Structure 1
Amino acid sequence: MKSSRVLGTGSYLPSRVMTNADLELIVDTTATWILERTGIEKRHLVSDGETCCDLAEAAARRALEAAGIQASDLDLILVATTTPDQFFPSTACLLQQRLGVRGCAAFDLQAVCAGFVYALDVADKFIRTGAAKHALVVGSETFSRILDWTDRTTCVLFGDGAGAVVLGASDEPGILSTHLHADGSYKDLLQVPGGIGNGRQQDAFVEMKGNEVFRIAVNTLGRIVEETLEANGLSQSDIDWLVPHQANIRIIQATARKLDLPMERVVVTVAEHGNTSSASIPLAFDQAVRDGRIQRGQMVLMEAFGGGFTWGSALIRY
């Protein structure tokens, strides 16, 4: 059976930047409080008219260039997003049209902050079963558009951006394992209650019970780290890099402690990007690949936790 390997990475951030000092002017908070509680210093936000597909396209083109393949070589396009451009067609289909591709499968996947890991799992299975030779996996979010900018408990946390990887079939192991989970019983702790079914389409803002989410996230991510290592017969010392979902510096530090991994071997972008939901892992991964920290042959553990609750991990030999 073929394995899937990462051939190239790409990312994109909107040019508009909002700092903690900027937030002090519009909501009852302080720059110091935000930094101390979350580790976030600034976040990038889309401008008027800038869409989820715009971000996805920029990240995708950079990943394709890095992979050295043409868009016409793709057999699958997956976009993980919570903030699609429209109800339908999917953002993946819109991206497919932008890339000038016809015929290959293209669809969106919604698992909020765990969306990229979920999408990576799906693409990996397409390649392992021979259904695809090349797959484009994108996490893209315009999360700022579902924030209540008067709610200081949520609006300080999130930002916009996109990250992408191109996977290719290989005889050498690349994606070693993926592990996905969900538990809908926690749906009320982190949600956007607006929707078509309940007729509240104008009430589409993030609601979060932060302390409860934090506690469950730390415990859950610790368990999935153990699950991933056990499934592959590895110990903590075998992991070269942790690329976590960039939600909160305290959650990241707690997961690193679980791995007994020094923070120097953890890719952290939360200070510059905030929480970009499904885009956060591929954004961080691309940054660390491009600046030379993550090298070919190294072992990379990705893990994420998001609304649903959904959570997952991917172990990759880059």
Structure 2
Amino acid sequence: MYSRIAGTGSCLPKRVVTNDELSKTVDTSDEWIATRTGIRQRHVAGEGETTVSLSKEAALRAMSAAGVSPDDIDLIVLGTTTPNLIFPSSACLLQAELGIAGCPAFDVNAACSGFIYAMTVADNFIRSGSVKTALVVGAETLTRMIDWTDRGTCVLFGDGAGAVVLKADNETGILSTHLHADGSKKELLWNPVGVSEGFKPEEENAGVRVLMTGNEVFKHAVKALDSVVEEALEANGLDRHEIDWLIPHQANLRIIEATAKRLDMPMDRVIVTVDKHGNTSSGSVPLALDEAVQSGKVQRGQLLLLEAFGGGFTWGSVLLRY
């Protein structure tokens, strides 16, 4: 039994912030940002736009594309690091917004790998036979925890949500998923505020913001993504040249290009949205996937490799026949 992607959907906040706009408030420029990251603009959530509201619109579009109703959904898994509330989970809030009652609904927090982790969880539910139709969402409003005076991080992130409907299928779908984590590297990419440890304003790094050691993250990301790609191919007895599309986490164009080079894959077979979306964390991969589907690039029967790397560190891949 496989998990087949029956429909995709996405939603982006209305407000677009360009690099030129950022250069008016922080010491940067369009050229500086674009050269180092490939980012030209990002969407920023405004009043009334939340992780749940963006998730709802993305979910409704995915459900419409899949031809399913709220009554058909057996499971909701939402990948996010920016939930509306500490509890209830954003998945439960989304469940209520969609008018779905009774099925399990929960969040997965794996930073930028959140959607890959969430897909893996849903896939295992479907493979076990306990679920037939699952709604999987990756969504963030990460700009609400950005230090807008730190040009090393504020230029990178954006908001958005993407969703897929997975349905049980005995012929095609997700071939394998591969997840990893290394908590010993936490302080290379993290947010130092939590509930249990509390808020300590006397500490230098206190505050709800993203802290990152960019060069170290880059090195670890390229190595980890190379490894997890090889792991996916080896597990399925496939050659890298058999992959039709690479759909990577949209963190940095240089990381995407490095991964494609190691795969010996031309960039015209790589889905790139980082220039328009920035790094939307858990929303990144499903946003890129939906754009690829809506544009007609991704066609039924093609082999797709989805991969992501994020704070934790966490990383993973999903190899699937679309």
**Taking structure 1 as the reference length, what is the TM-score of the superposition?**
0.99
Matching of residue 236 in structure 1 with residue 235 in structure 2 = no
Distance in 1 of aligned mates of 2:130 and 2:24 = 52
For 1:91-110, what aligned pairs fall within 5 Å after superposition?
91-110=90-109
Residue identity in the other structure for 2:310: G
Q: Equivalent residue for 1:311?
A: 315
Shift of 1:105: 0.4
**Is the counterpart of residue 200 in structure 1 residue 199 in structure 2?**
yes
Deviation for aligned residue 1:20: 0.2
Q: What's the secondary structure of 2:286's corresponding residue?
A: helix
Instruction: Please give the secondary structure, in 1, of the residue aligned with 2:186.
Output: helix
How far apart in 2 are the matches of 1:228 and 1:129? 21
Q: Supply the distance in 2 between the matched residues of 1:55 and 1:91 (Cα, whole angstroms).
A: 11
Instruction: Give the residue type in structure 2 aligned to 1:217.
Output: A
Cα distance in 1 for residues equivalent to 2:68 and 2:289: 20
Instruction: Give RMSD over aligned pairs.
Output: 0.8
What is the CA–CA distance in structure 1 between the aligned matches of 2:319 and 2:30, rounded to whole Å? 35
2:15 equivalent in structure 1: 16
Give the AA of the match of 2:195.
I
> Structure 2 CA distance, aligned partners of 1:126 and 1:89?
22
Deviation at 1:66, TM superposition (A): 0.2
TM-aligned CA deviation for residue 49 of structure 1: 2.7
The offset of 1:7, in angstroms, is 0.2
Equivalent position to 1:260, from 264, 280, 286: 264
SS at match of 2:271: coil
Matched residue type, 1:49 = G
Aligned-pair CA distance for 1:28:
1.1
Q: Count residues in correspondence.
A: 317
SS in 2 for 1:282: helix
Q: How does 1:33-48 map to 2 (within 5 A)?
A: 33-48=32-47
Give distance in 1, aligned partners of 2:262 and 2:145: 33
Q: Deviations over 1:129-159 (max 9, x none)?
A: 0110000000010000110001110000000
For each residue in 1:232-284, what CA deviation from the matched residue of structure 2 results, as whole angstroms up to 9, or x when unmatched?
10111110000000000000000001111100000000000000000000000
For residues 96-117 of structure 1, what are the alpha-carbon distances to aligned partners after superposition, in whole Å with 9 as ceiling and x for unaligned?
0011011000000000100000
Cα offsets for 1:146-183 (capped at 9, x unmatched): 10001110000000000000000011130000000000
Could you tell me how far apart the structure 2 residues matched to 1:3 and 1:273 are? 31
Shift of 1:196: 1.1
1:218 aligned onto 2:207: no
Q: In the alignment, residue 73 of structure 1 is paired with which amino acid?
A: D
2:45 aligned partner, one-letter code = V
Q: Secondary structure at the match of 2:125?
A: helix
Alpha-carbon distance in structure 1 between the residues aligned to 2:169 and 2:222: 34
Percent identity over paired residues: 62
Question: Which residue is 2:57 aligned to?
Answer: 58
Structure 1, gaps ≥5 residues long: none
- Matched residues in 2 for 1:122 and 1:195: separation? 25
Pairs within 5 Å for 1:1-318? 2-200=1-199, 203-318=207-322
Q: Deviations over 1:271-302 (max 9, x none)?
A: 00000000000000000001100000000000
* Alpha-carbon distance in 2 for matches of 1:5, 1:92: 21
Tell me the TM-score normalized by structure 2: 0.97
Partner Cα separation in structure 1 for residue 13 and residue 40 of structure 2: 16
TM-superposed CA distance for 1:48, in Å, is 1.9
Could you report, residue by residue, the CA deviation over 1:9-28 in whole angstroms, capped at 9, with x for unpaired residues? 00010110000001001111
Show structure 1 runs of 4+ deviating over 2 A: none
Letter in 2 for 1:208: M
Give the 3-state SS of the residue equivalent to 1:154 in structure 2.
Answer: helix
Map of 2:203 onto structure 1 = none
**Aligned-pair distance for 1:198?**
2.1
Separation in structure 2 between the aligned mates of residue 150 and residue 36 of structure 1, nearest angstrom:
20
Partner amino acid, structure 1, of 2:214: G
Q: Distance in 2 between matches of 1:156 and 1:259?
A: 28
Q: How much does 1:72 deviate?
A: 1.2
